[in-house]
Amino acid sequence: MALIQIAEPGESTTAHQHKLAVGIDLGTTNSLVATVRSGEVSTLPDSSGQHLLPSVVHYAENAIHVGSEAQSYSVTDPLNTVVSVKRFMGRGIEDLAVEETHYSYEFSETNSVIPRIKTRAGDLSAVEISAEILKALKTRALETLGDEINGAVITVPAYFDDAQRQATKDAAKLADIKVLRLLNEPTAAAVAYGLDSGNQGVIAVFDLGGGTFDISILRLNNGVFEVLATGGDSSLGGDDFDYVIAQWMIEQAGMDDMGDPASKRLIMQQARAAKEALAGAESTGVSLDLGDIHWQGTLDREILKALIMPLIKKTLMSCRRALRDADIEKNNIDEVVMVGGSTRTLAVREMVAEFFECEPLTSIDPDKVVATGAALQADVLVGNKPDDEMLLLDVIPLSLGIETMGGLVEKIIHRNTGIPVAKAQDFTTYKDGQTAMAVHVLQGERELVADSRSLARFELRGIPPQVAGAARIRVTFQVDADGLLIVSAREENSGVEASIDVKPSYGLSDSEVETMLRESMEHAEDDMHSRSLREQQVEADRVLEALDSALAVDGEQLLSDQERSEIMDVRQILVEVKSDTDKEKIKQTIERLEKACENYVARRMNSNIKSAMQGHSIEEYASDERSEAEES
Amino acid sequence: MAITLTEPAAERVRTFLANRGKGVGLRLGVKTMGCSGMSYVLEFVDDINPEDEVFEDSGVKVIVDKKSLVYLDGTELDYTREGLNEGFKFNNPKEKAACGCGESFTV
């Protein structure tokens, strides 16, 4: 017997046509599923009352375990127990090299660009492993709701690139979950606090989990969220708090180091327990009982604060950077939302409050807040709330553009633009009679192609042969609500077109995104110089190209040998200096060549006008002018 | 003619209404659809219509339109938990047969 939930007025469904939707927080350390029932949102616990599902998958001989069950195998069977798989979503083999953390499991040596983890169930990709976590959450939802799930909103970090978003969608597909949309985690947190009901404001979302830290600055405008900036540290979290507490403990106990892995695990557990106790108490007793070491001490909030101060300061530095990126002053922040278990530590709350000069929102369980927001959004998207046209805007993390002459990047969509978005820009041909154009899609903030990340290439063919600059090629970049990119190019005069779905082979980590952004700041001046140099070189090429094609047409008729050789001399100088790095010299030589050609250009103009006017009387032109004047 | 709520049901409805922040009561009704002919309707109510009958039980306004009342008279609404699932259940004396899933019924 199916049990019935209360619907909004007029939104009752007929039997077997329930509009059930869930929100899924697919986290690095823990995952959750939440739903709205009878107008009330809640995360769904498993049969033992646990809401958090550890994002751990264990491959046994004949079974797959997910969650706390799998966690217990991380010690006994580390090679077949996968943790933190989210870090590899949409990532390539090269990306693994930059990852500092070491994992207990092994990667297989394959030629594939996708890293695969060796398990007894075969070599598995991050997508396949994530799908197991999603399946476990889906099963929990089915058991709880007693019916099929119509769709899910799955949250992803705001900095996730196209490849990482696509990988998340692929995992959902494998788990047979219909994705209503992907939602940025900070946006979900803001929705959970009902901040979307306000009219406008700027919101900072401070997300400190077990192993990662993210700060996002959102702007709310008429119920629409726009991510202004994101930042953070992919290897900073509550685990680091535990580590500094453990260090303090062994120092107090007079030990040199943490000893073997078993004693290290024990000390870390003690440290963690002490940290959690201090969320509710002023001080707590700590003790170490290892071999011949017996130590007892007291850890209070003051000591804890002093210990973790350097770590919190690191998070605040990221906050400062994100504010600068967003071009927002601290006092313009209206609300600060706390997300992630580590924000339970009082020292964190205090310092964040001090930094933003406002009391952060902490009333919703920081572990559940993202899933809660996702469930609320899923409920709207599946059609349970007709009045509420909530449409959330997300952002692209890095600018998207195409390569232009001279190896320069022309940005078409700038970073932090809200999505969905479509932007077009017109380009033209560079050479006479050019019939094809290569479109090279790039991502990044730098000015030169060599410093950017290549996403895709395609060619627009069949452009009718015309003089250089006559063709009108409109390149359109379209990013859908999930952040996936489609690039199309169309020659407007002939209508020929070509397009590509950017299926990125692998993505960037947040630290790489950060590196790319930082480099673009650090190299801003170099980039400016190299851009103007390249522009000058391209201009030189263009002038030479135009001169050569003109000389080929009427150079013989209009110029004496002496004039010709004068022009050719300057032309030769330009050919030599254009590969120089002195842009001023190139510019001066271009001017010199133009000056040398002045007479030639004038004669060409006259002869063109003469040929154009041949067979027409002056009166015809005069009457044309008159009629134009009358019209205007 | 009457419709009643069990105490657990009344308590849940009061909580849900309070969380929702608006609404005058709870609508019970039937829709002619579903695999066995009819299905139950359970909705929040913001506006009471002229053709509605209003009952009050355990501090909750129960609103039923006259047409539905014919099929629902004597119904007791309960709130139960079955495994992980929890929700409302119609104990309708007029219900003669329900489809396997229990979501639709005939009288």
DSSP per-residue codes, A388-412? ------EE-SS-EEEEETTTEEEEE
Could you tell me the two tokens for A377?
A: 């959004």
Alpha carbon of A390: minimum distance to chain B alpha carbons (Å): 17
B88 neighbourhood in chain A, CB within 8 Å: 3-6
Query: Which tokens go with A322?
Result: 């994100």
Contact A148, A137 (CB under 8 A): no
Contacts of A587 (CB under 8 A, 6+ apart): A536
Terminal alpha carbon distance of chain A: 78
Examine the domain organization and report whether A498 and A590 are in the same domain.
Answer: no
Residues A8 and A52 in one domain: yes
Give the domain ranges of chain B. Answer: 4-96
Q: What is the dihedral of CA A539, A542, A548, A550, to 10 degrees?
A: -110
Same domain? For A547 and A512 the reply is no
For the cut 50, the answer to whether the pLDDT of residue A550 exceeds it is: yes
- A48 in contact with chain B, both atoms CB, cutoff 8 A: no
Output b/e per residue, B19-37; b: 16+ Cβ within 10 A. eeeebebbbbbbeeebebb
Strands A213-221 and A200-208, sheet pairing: antiparallel
On whether both A64 and A147 belong to a single domain, the answer is yes
pLDDT winner (highest mean) among A80-89, A314-323, A599-608 = A314-323
Q: Give a yes or no: residue A10 inside a domain.
A: yes
Q: Are residues A11 and A51 in the same domain?
A: yes
Distance between CA atoms of residues A446 and A519, nearest Å: 8
CA distance B1 to chain A (A): 23
Cβ atoms < 10 Å from Cβ of A481? 16
Smallest Cα distance from B22 to chain A, Å:
11
Confidence tier at A508 by pLDDT (50, 70, 90): very low
Residue A316 lies in a domain: no
Question: What strands, in cross-sheet order, belong to the sheet with A56-59?
Answer: A64-66, A56-59, A81-83
Query: A504: pLDDT confidence band, cut at 50, 70 and 90?
Result: very low
A207 is catalytic: yes
Alpha helices, DSSP H, located in chain B: 7-20, 66-72
Q: Looking at the structure, tell me whether residues A482 and A565 fall in a common domain.
A: no
Closest chain A C-alpha to B107 CA, distance in angstroms = 16
A49 burial via Cβ count (<10 Å: 0-12, 13-18, 19+): exposed
Q: What DSSP designation does A297 have?
A: E
Alpha-carbon torsion A439, A444, A445, A450, what sign? negative
Q: Which H or E element spans position B23?
A: none
Catalytic position from the list A185, A196, A447, A512: A185
At A66, list the tokens: 């997910």
- Mark yes or no for CB contact B86/A3 under 8 Å: yes
For the CA atoms of A84, A87, A88, A94, the dihedral, rounded to the nearest 10 degrees, stands at -130
Percent of all residues in chain A with a pLDDT value above 90, rounded to a whole number: 31
Nearest partner of A441 among A419, A398, A473, A409, judged by Cα: A409
> Is residue B96 a contact partner of residue A156, using CB atoms and an 8 Å limit?
no
- Per-residue pLDDT tens digits for A383-423: 776 544 445 555 676 788 999 888 888 888 887 676 677 88
Residue A109 belongs to some domain of the structure: yes
Query: Is the model's pLDDT at A160 over the cut of 50?
Result: yes
Bridge pairing between strands A151-156 and B4-5: unpaired
Examine the domain organization and report whether A113 and A155 are in the same domain.
yes
If interface means Cβ-Cβ distance under 8 Å, which residues of chain B face chain A?
12-13, 15-16, 19-20, 26-27, 29, 31, 33-35, 39-47, 80, 82-90, 98-99, 101-104
Q: What percent of chain B has a predicted confidence (pLDDT) above 90?
A: 22
- Tell me whether residue A25 is one of the annotated catalytic residues: yes
Spatial separation of the C-alpha atoms in residues A328 and A324, rounded to whole Å: 6
A450 touches chain B (CB under 8 A): no
CB nearest A2 (choices: B26, B44, B102): B102
Q: Would you say the C-alpha torsion A512, A513, A516, A519 has a positive or negative sign?
A: negative
Q: Which among A9, A44, A143 has the least Cβ separation from residue B83?
A: A143
What pLDDT shows up at residue A623?
45
| Banded model confidence at residue A298, pLDDT cuts 50, 70, 90 | very high
Confidence of residue A505 (pLDDT cuts 50, 70, 90): very low
Token pair belonging to A605: 């103009």
What's residue A624's pLDDT? 45
A418 and A515 share a domain?
yes
Q: Which of A259, A276, A307 is the last residue of a domain?
A: A307
Interface of A with B in 136-195 (CB under 8 A): 140, 143-146
- The domain tally of chain A equals 4
Architecture of domain B4-96: Sandwich (2.60)
Residues lower than pLDDT 50 in chain B: 34
Q: Which tens digit of pLDDT belongs to each residue from A254-288?
A: 888 877 777 888 888 889 999 999 988 999 999 88
Task: From A475, A493, A522, give the residue that closes a domain.
Answer: A522
Give the separation between CA A292 and CA A277, rounded to whole angstroms. 26
CB burial of residue A100 (10 Å; 0-12, 13-18, 19+): exposed
Of A193, A225, A258, which residue constitutes the final position of a domain?
Answer: A193
Residue A505 lies in a domain: yes
Residues of A in contact with B47 (CB under 8 A): 9
Spatial contact of B64 and B27, defined as CB atoms under 8 Å apart: yes
Check pLDDT > 80 for residue A480. Answer: no
Instruction: Give mean pLDDT, residues A143-169.
Output: 86
Interface test with B, best of A5, A14, A51, A197 (most B CBs within 10 A): A14
Catalytic residue among A132, A162, A207, A512: A207
pTM over 0.80: no
My answer on whether A50 and A18 are in the same domain is yes
Q: What is the DSSP string of A417-458?
A: -EESEEEEEEE--SSTT---EEEEEEESS-SBGGGSEEEEEE
The alpha carbon torsion through A230, A370, A167, A485 (nearest 10 deg) reads -50
Helix A583-596 to helix A524-550 angle (10° resolution) is 20
Contact at 8 Å (CB) between A196 and A188? Answer: no
- Judged against a pLDDT cut of 60, whether residue A622 lies above it is answered with no
Percent of chain A with pLDDT over 70: 86
Q: Which residue of B has its CA nearest to A15?
A: B34
Peptide bond into A464 cis (omega under 30): no
Distance CA A166, CA A507 (A): 10
**Which domain CATH number covers A264?**
3.90.640.10
> A484 to each of A397, A422, A511, B56, how far by Cα in Å?
12, 12, 21, 53
Residue type, A526: D
Q: Which of A175, A177, A188 is nearest to A149 (CA)?
A: A177
- Among the listed ranges A99-108, A352-361, A527-536, A616-625, which one has the minimum average pLDDT value? A616-625
Cβ of A6 and B19 within 8 Å? no
A116 plus A42 within the same structural domain: yes
- How confident is the prediction for chain A on average, in pLDDT? 83
* A143 class by beta-carbon count within 10 Å (0-12 exposed, 13-18 middle, 19+ buried): middle
Q: Is A9 on the interface with B (CB under 8 A)?
A: yes
Q: Tell me, what's the pLDDT at A332?
A: 92
Looking at the domain assignment, is residue A346 inside a domain?
A: no
pLDDT beyond 50 at A223: yes
A85, A174, A176, A324 from A171: Cα distances, Å: 12, 5, 9, 35
List the one residue out of A108, A46, A105 whose CA is nearest residue A73: A105
> Quick check: is A493 in a domain?
yes
Residue A200 has pLDDT above 70, yes or no: yes
Q: Are residues A40 and A169 in the same domain?
A: yes
In terms of domains, do A102 and A185 share one? yes
Sign of the alpha-carbon dihedral angle for A365, A366, A367, A373? positive
Could you tell me whether strands A485-491 and A497-501 are parallel, antiparallel, or unpaired per DSSP bridges?
A: antiparallel
Q: What is the CATH number of the domain that holds A410?
A: 2.60.34.10
Chain B residues in contact with A379 (beta carbon < 8 A): none
- Nearest-CB residue to B80 (from A3, A7, A14): A3
Predicted local confidence at residue A386, as pLDDT: 55
Give the range of the structural domain holding residue A492, as residue numbers without chain letter: 396-522
The strand pairing partners of A243, in sequence order, are none
Query: Nearest residue of A to residue B46 by CA position?
Result: A9
H or E segment to which residue A171 belongs? helix A162-174
